[in-house]
């Protein structure tokens, strides 16, 4: 048993996140009812697909010990660009690819600033956050509505898998499918490729990774590119679902994504973390919104405070644990 715990110590926080998620569902079901049913769970997935994708991207960066504060703003810029171009008559499929590429380009810029020019990750990505947000405002400060017949909306087309009684249907969208593919892809990269293992090695100890002869520089640029690219993907999924893009879209989403990642058991100091944990973390946040709405007594303005509080609590827990581990 002890050995099992030792082997699995790193997964414990992730298991903890699953426990929290299940407990929240149970509480919601008992207190408000109609949580554990197809429609609620479908909506949970559909409404949080973009957050799952963001959190997965951020997991890469945070596991190396870095941070990407630009993701929310990158979503704003790519989605405004996307909607404007699509409405201007560009090929919608090309537009979607372009959105993803633009996201990747922002990530590349952050990565180069961090790795090549030695700018601290939070400064570099903060600058990118201002830049992306500013560019988005340059394009438009009004909500830009995607044409109702735009093929981009296909990403949010609803597939009714189970036709339940009343509106209790099991529904999936291509957006959810994309999120699932991103999750599986990320799992493959992190656990079955040298790139992924280098990501963990860097987070464990960057000097060690360098001395072991691993391609540290290249890998660190890659993680920012991955994070930016996935922000682009998240923008596609989100825009398709909402049909509206605005320069103030995604304010504070970097905090949501960070929250999802740390709830899922990834250490903010790097080295430890799982994609699956971040997925659960994102769903915990999504479920929290559902419960707050159902409850109705907590003003919706409290959500960012609660999210912020959750981040602080988890970061404090992580700090406490690492202190305990160092001085057993």
- Least distance in Å: CB of 216 to another protein? 11
With contacts defined by CB under 8 A, name the span among 17-25, 50-58, 97-105, 209-217 that binds another protein: 209-217
Give yes or no for residue 7 binding another protein (CB under 8 A). Answer: yes
Residue 34 vs 192, nearer CB to another protein: 192
Stretch that binds another protein, among 95-103, 147-155, 220-228, 266-274 (CB under 8 A): 266-274
85, 108, 244, 268: which one binds another protein (CB under 8 A): 268
Which 3 state secondary structure label does DSSP give 245?
strand
Cα–Cα distance, 275 to 186 (Å, whole number):
7
Nearer to another protein, 31 or 305 (CB): 305
- H helices of 116-164, in order, are 121-139
Contacts to another protein from residues 133-172, by CB under 8 A = 133-135, 137-138, 141
C-alpha to C-alpha distance for 108 and 114, rounded to whole angstroms: 10
322 class by beta-carbon count within 10 Å (0-12 exposed, 13-18 middle, 19+ buried): exposed
Q: Out of 94, 162, 252, 295, point to the residue binding another protein (CB under 8 A).
A: 252
Q: Return the range that interacts with another protein (CB under 8 A); candidates 40-48, 176-184, 283-291, 307-315.
A: 307-315
Residue 21 binding another protein, by CB under 8 A:
no
| Residue 37 or 205 with smaller CB distance to another protein | 205
How many residues are recorded in the chain? 328
113 touches another protein (CB under 8 A): yes
**Which residue has 């372009």 as its token pair?**
98
Distance, in Å, from the CA atom of 191 to the CA atom of 168, rounded to the nearest integer, reads: 37
Contact 227, 60 (CB under 8 A): yes
In whole angstroms, what is the distance from residue 169 CA to residue 40 CA? 9
> Quick one: which of 120, 163, 295, 317 contacts another protein (CB under 8 A)?
120
C-alpha closest to that of 151 among 85, 237, 93: 93
Eight-class DSSP state of 248:
T
Q: Strand 144-145 to strand 244-245: parallel, antiparallel, or no bridges (unpaired)?
A: antiparallel
Binding site for another protein (CB under 8 A): 3, 6-7, 9-10, 67, 69, 113, 116-120, 122-124, 126-128, 130-131, 133-135, 137-138, 141, 188, 191-194, 197-198, 200-201, 203-205, 207-209, 211-214, 247-248, 252, 254-255, 258, 268, 271-272, 299-305, 307-309, 311-312, 315-316, 319
């Amino acid at each position: 048993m002890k050995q099992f715990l030792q082997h699995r110590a790193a997964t414990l926080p992730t298991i903890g996140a699953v426990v929290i998620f299940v407990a929240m569902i149970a509480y919601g079901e008992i207190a408000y009812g109609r949580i554990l049913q197809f429609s609620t769970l479908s909506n949970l997935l559909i409404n949080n697909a973009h957050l799952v994708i963001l959190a997965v991207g951020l997991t890469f960066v945070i596991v190396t010990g870095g941070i990407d504060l630009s993701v929310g703003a990158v979503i704003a810029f790519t989605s405004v660009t996307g909607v404007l171009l699509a409405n201007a008559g560009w090929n919608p499929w090309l537009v979607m690819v372009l959105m993803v590429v633009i996201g990747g380009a922002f990530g590349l810029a952050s990565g180069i600033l961090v790795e090549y020019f030695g700018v601290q990750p939070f400064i570099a990505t903060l600058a990118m956050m201002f830049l992306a947000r500013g560019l988005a405002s340059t394009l438009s400060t009004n909500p830009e509505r995607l044409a109702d017949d735009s093929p981009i909306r296909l990403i949010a087309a609803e597939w009714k898998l189970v036709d339940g009684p009343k509106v209790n249907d099991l529904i999936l969208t291509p957006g959810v499918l994309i999120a699932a593919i991103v999750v599986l892809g990320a799992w493959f990269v992190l656990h079955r490729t040298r790139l992924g293992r280098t990501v963990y090695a860097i987070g464990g100890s960057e000097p060690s990774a360098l001395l072991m002869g691993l391609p540290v520089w290249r890998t660190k640029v890659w993680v920012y590119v991955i994070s930016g690219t996935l922000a682009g993907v998240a923008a596609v999924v989100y825009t398709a679902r909402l049909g509206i893009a605005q320069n103030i879209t995604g304010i504070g989403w970097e905090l949501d994504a960070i929250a999802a990642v740390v709830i899922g058991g990834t250490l903010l100091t790097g080295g430890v973390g799982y994609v699956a944990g971040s997925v659960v973390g994102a769903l915990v946040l999504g479920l929290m919104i559902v419960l707050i709405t159902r409850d109705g007594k907590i003003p919706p303005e409290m959500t960012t405070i609660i999210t912020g509080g959750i981040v602080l609590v988890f970061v404090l827990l992580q700090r406490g644990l690492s202190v305990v581990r160092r001085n057993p």
